[in-house]
């Protein structure tokens, strides 16, 4: 099988440290040498027709969603990965209806940058044993999130909260780490890394905007019950707001168990674009490829993050869960596939709230030697009521994402590679 260029291709031009493949329908930014790259992912890549053509080949699975793209607000990013003989990756990113100015509620997508920034702050504080120290919330702010069932032999700690948040998207764990970081630290660092449109200033659950601008005081205790760190209540320097302005979604919303006409106000809720989460995931999978947007972490911390986002719940001895492999994996595997084949891994983070559902994943097949990134989000709330927990996740959202993942996986299985990737760094034991 020979590799052919898209028939719309016209030319390759140079631009600084990149080569840009210019086509009749889209532009792709391909990093040439990773050491010289200012960022391997093209934030401004235009929408292409590649993903649309692929989905149109399978109308049984995709025609319904494609007919309603204006309503379901579907956005997709797909990145091909090619390796050179030194196993260094280069990337081509294709997009479908991606629009950073179109708001969607990021839900648990925000947990990935929060995890990376938690490790950054632990490193900055440089207190021996801090990650494992017992963590005690000494404040009064409680957002009333549902507690997940798990078994553990260890006390609550930053390390345990990181595991819970990334393994099963635990909201209680996210709120504890939000208290540790505070909104200013999160948003200042994201801005420094170039994510200027990102805003994370909201806990999960039922906290008011004013409550989200302060954190609970926290104390950390070592094994001998000695205090090794007391962090006071942190007050945000500014009143954060969605940078896209006044955002309202839906035709009605639930407030105090009563349905009220008029949509849900998202002006004081988190904002993270699909391009942002796609880029953040790429920077954690390939930190050497994204020097301009690389979190300030050593190699072992990146490996730790990759392990947590790649593990299934059953692979965690502590905390221990009785959950299927696909509990927090929407792409590629349907709800009927409870155990993922051992040759396939999805290093991912998911989102599901207010009718928005998404997954951002780096997917590998160790046997076939394939690897790729896919991020997608869509809105599945046919009745238009926000907060009633009557959404079309099971009927539309998860089946679509599973088929999308399978589609891209099959296309990647057919794609010819000059050099097969060495994936040993991504094997989880």
pLDDT, one tens digit per residue, over 120-164 is 999 999 999 999 999 999 988 988 888 898 999 889 999 999 999
3-state SS class at 45? coil
The answer to whether the beta carbons of residues 368 and 420 sit under 8 Å apart is no
CATH number of the domain located at residue range(s) 9-370+377-426 in this protein: 3.40.710.10
Sign of CA dihedral 309, 294, 237, 270: negative
Question: Residue 102's closest CA among 47, 169, 51?
Answer: 47
Tokens standing for residue 56:
């149109």
| Statement: residue 236 has pLDDT above 60 | yes
**Helix (H) or strand (E) run with residue 310 in it:** helix 299-310
Is the separation of the CB atoms in 106 and 351 below 8 Å?
A: yes
Residues 6+ apart with CB under 8 A from 70: none
Task: Choose between 157 and 27: higher pLDDT.
Answer: 157
CB of 420 closer than 8 Å to CB of 364: no
- Residue 92 tokens read as 């081509």
Cα separation, 40 vs 32, whole angstroms: 9
Token output for 367: 């046997």
> Lowest-confidence range among 34-48, 265-279, 355-369, 377-391?
34-48
Distance CA 222, CA 356 (A): 41
- Cα–Cα dist 79/360, whole Å: 11
Does the structure show a pLDDT above 90 at 291?
A: no
- Residue 71 pLDDT > 50: yes
H helices of 106-170, in order, are 111-125, 158-168
Closest alpha carbon to 374 in 337, 399, 347, 397 = 347
Residue 96 pLDDT > 80 = yes
Q: How confident is the model at residue 46 (pLDDT cuts 50, 70, 90)?
A: low
Q: Structural domain boundaries of the chain?
A: 9-370+377-426
Give the model confidence (pLDDT) of 179-222 as tens digits: 999 999 999 999 999 999 999 999 999 899 999 999 999 999 99
């Amino acid at each position: 099988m020979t590799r052919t260029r898209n028939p719309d291709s016209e030319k390759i031009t140079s631009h600084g440290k990149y080569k840009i493949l210019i086509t009749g329908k889209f532009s792709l930014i391909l990093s040439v040498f990773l050491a010289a790259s200012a960022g391997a992912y093209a934030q401004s890549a235009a929408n292409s027709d590649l993903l649309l053509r692929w989905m149109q080949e399978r109308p049984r699975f995709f025609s319904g969603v494609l007919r309603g793209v204006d309503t379901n607000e579907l956005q997709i990013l797909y990145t091909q990965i090619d390796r050179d003989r030194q196993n260094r990756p280069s990337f081509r990113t294709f997009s479908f209806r991606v629009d950073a100015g179109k708001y969607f509620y990021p839900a648990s997508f925000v947990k990935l940058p929060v995890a990376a920034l938690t490790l950054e702050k632990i490193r900055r504080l440089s207190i021996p044993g801090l990650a494992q120290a017992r963590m005690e919330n000494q404040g009064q702010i409680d957002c009333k999130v549902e507690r997940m069932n798990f078994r553990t032999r260890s006390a609550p700690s930053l390390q345990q909260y990181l595991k819970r948040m990334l393994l099963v998207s635990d909201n209680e764990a996210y709120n504890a780490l939000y208290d540790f970081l505070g909104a200013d630290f999160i948003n200042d660092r994201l801005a420094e890394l170039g994510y200027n449109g990102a805003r994370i200033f909201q806990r999960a659950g039922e906290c008011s905007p004013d409550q989200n601008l302060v954190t609970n005081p926290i104390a950390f205790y070592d094994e001998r019950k000695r205090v090794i760190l007391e962090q006071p209540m942190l007050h945000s320097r500014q009143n954060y707001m969605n940078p896209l302005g006044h955002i309202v979604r839906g035709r009605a919303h639930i407030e105090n168990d009563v349905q009220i006409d008029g949509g849900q106000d998202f002006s004081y809720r988190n904002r993270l674009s699909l391009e942002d989460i796609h880029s953040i995931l790429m920077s954690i999978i390939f930190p050497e490829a994204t020097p301009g947007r690389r979190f300030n972490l050593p190699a072992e911390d990146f490996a730790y993050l990759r392990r947590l986002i790649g593990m299934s719940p059953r692979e965690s001895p502590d905390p221990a869960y009785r959950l299927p492999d696909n509990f927090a994996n929407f792409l590629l595997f349907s709800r009927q596939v409870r155990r993922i084949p051992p040759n396939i891994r999805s290093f991912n983070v998911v989102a599901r709230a207010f009718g928005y559902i998404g997954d951002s994943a780096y997917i590998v097949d160790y046997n076939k030697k394939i690897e790729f990134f896919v991020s997608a989000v869509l809105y599945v709330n046919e009745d238009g009521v926000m907060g009633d927990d009557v959404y079309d996740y099971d009927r539309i959202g998860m089946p679509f994402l599973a088929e999308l993942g399978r589609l891209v996986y099959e296309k990647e299985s057919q794609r010819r590679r000059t050099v097969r990737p060495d994936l040993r760094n991504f094997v989880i034991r």
